[in-house]
Copies of this chain bind each other. A is one copy, B any other.
Amino acid sequence: MDIAALRKAHPEHWMRAAAIRTLTLDAVAAANSGHSGMPMGMADVATVLFEKHLKFDASAPQWPDRDRFILSAGHGSMLIYSLLHLTGYADMTLKQIKDFRQMGAITAGHPEYGHATGVETTTGPLGQGLANSVGFAIAEENQRARFGKKLVDHYTYCIAGDGCLMEGISQEAIGLAGRHELGRLIVFWDNNNITIDGTVELSDRTDQAQRFKASGWHVQEIDGHDPEQIDAAIEKAKKTRKPSMIACKTHIALGSSAQDTSKGHGALTSDDLIRDTKAAYGWSYGPFEVPADVKSQWEAIGKRGAADRESWEGRLSEVSGSKQKEFARCYAGDAPKKLSATIKALKKQISETKPKVATRKASEIALEVINPIMQETFGGSADLTGSNNTLTTDMGVFSPENRKGRYMYYGIREHGMAAAMNGMALHGGTKAYGGTFMCFTDYARGAMRLSALMGVPVTYVMTHDSIGLGEDGPTHQPVEHLAMLRATPNTNVFRPADAVETAEAWELALTSKSTPSVLALSRQNLPTVRTDHTLKNQTAMGAYVLAEAESKRQAIIMATGSEVEIALAARELLEAEGIGTRVVSMPCWELFEAQDEKYRRKVLPAGPVRVAVEAAIGFGWDKWLLGERGKTGKAGFVGMESFGASAPADELYAHFGITAQGVADKVKSLL
């Protein structure tokens, strides 16, 4: 690469971009770890984007109508940290840059949402940022239709690398964006031909331009170091009605001896390399030093959007007070005041009418009353709408022709759906939920973990949550998934027993501010077990006494979801023999764990035999069976010890011994 020619052609641009490159070199060297090459390669694209196109105001990072910038190739975190520092984000001090990758710094190894302002999403697991971007763009389209162009009118920009494009999730994202003509989405592909193992050729020969075009994208191919080409391409991309991919031919670790090599992908820490590279850049400053003129150019860029932002604030102040309030409420992520009363009324009605419905159906019943009063909900399903019961009558279907539609047919794309939901939640103003069969948590897992890590309150509607799914067999029957989800930090796993608990779970999911929720819902019909209406949300306690022992209490049966019915029937059998038995419904372990010990002891006192019943692997149940005042030899589990089988649900329950008699026998064997 002829660095001298680049410097000469656009000297001021060169120095601005060089500031990114040298901060990257210095920070990675100081940390003695990180990824130098990507920021060095993409500095020109990022500089032009921030300088001429990205609508933002460094002094107001939360401005709702800002353009969003997503660094899907998250290992290049020094690119975004440099940009945030140079443009003057208050929290991104030089000290933070110097503390790159150190304990307590906001400059984590990969960009972590919630650490630094200006970081719109956590990236690093490849492909996620690209798929998040699709969610950001959906939220923008949907809210523009809802609130009007005066309040919502922005772009989503994303930088993706070869790794992002090789991950399968990218295809799901590309397909969704193409189908829905997300014209406000502009993706830069850092086409540097290098992965960790070597050249891309080692593992892939895909013609990415052709691939994106095949899914309806507008594609341009440019020199990613030519600021004029970059600018012109962004101009064009902003005008097309299709999502845009700009293939930027770049040189990883530009200007260094590691340029165009896989070594350049990683941490370039050699003093000699850094010295020589800076010399090639014409950069004669000390470590972490940015000359005043360059810094002030960057700071001017950081202020470029201030007028826009002020004029937006003016427009916001001109809309009706109720619209202002609604806008603010949605962006605060607050549920409407009406929600609580609506859920209470629904619970009362259920307790009175005692329907026998699958909890997936109960979920639909709840959504039918929730969605009309929460216009910020955005639902969907990975091609199982009629099975997940996720579409309610008022929503409308999102499409290029109906941007107000609040429901997405995601297609057979669980991972893309989950990542898009994360994007919508991160965008703000939208509450996303989406459904699939619980077993396909496996496909969505990469994005579900990020929901938890970022603390975004999306809701996963996971139906067909056990062998109760029946004939579709073990490939479709989750057995380990409850344990997997419960083992994941910051995830509320709800497994409601009936329509009342389902309504309560929805209330908790929709009022959550920083924890995603998983609703594990049955395929099969379940009786209403909460036949006495209570105003209180019992599910909020995580576990509670559903049925008290009549005779002297000798046993406690714990159960969740569809097995609560079995627990109650077992209790009948035991009481008939004079064995006093309490049934504890445990719809959410995490919330029960969060209660004080006094409450937990009330629900699970020492002494009685404890048996848990759940149509899943018992992994993790020892916490409640043996811990919390339990005792070896007086505790047992009735559930699965293997994968399931293909047969009608009733036969499977009998086959695996998950029956009232089985539970009663287990209790008696422990008395």
Contact = CB atoms under 8 A, between A and B. Distances in A.
B647 A102 contact: yes
Contacts of A487: 480, 483-484, 487, 617, 619-620
Which of the listed residues A164, A211, A412 has the most CB atoms from chain B within 10 Å of its own CB?
A: A412
Contact of A619 (B216, B384, B620): B620
Count copies of this chain in the complex: 2
Contacts of A108: 473-474, 645-646
A116 to B, nearest CB: 12
A527 interface: no
Nearest to A178: B205
11 contacts: A101-B471, A101-B473, A109-B472, A125-B475, A168-B443, A203-B409, A211-B211, A443-B446, A487-B487, A489-B642, A619-B623
Which of the listed residues A202, A617, A648 has the most CB atoms from chain B within 10 Å of its own CB?
A: A202
A126 B171 CA distance: 15
Given A214-B207, A480-B488, A646-B108, A163 B412 contact: yes
B617 A409 contact: no
Contacts of A641: 489
Contacts of A413: 166-168, 203
Contacts of A381: 197
B619 A626 contact: no
Interface string A158-172: 000011101111111
Contact of A630 (B112, B479, B632): B632
A206 interface: yes
B472 A124 contact: yes
A401 interface: no
Shortest 9 CB-CB contacts between residues of A and residues of B: A168-B168, A203-B411, A108-B646, A626-B626, A622-B622, A483-B487, A171-B171, A124-B475, A103-B647
Contact of A179 (B34, B102, B204): B204
A188 B440 CA distance: 24
A contact residues, range: 35 or more
A103 B651 contact: yes
B475 A196 contact: no
Given A197-B383, A211-B215, 4 more contacts: A168-B170, A202-B409, A203-B413, A479-B489
Nearest to A473: B109
Interface in A387-402: 387
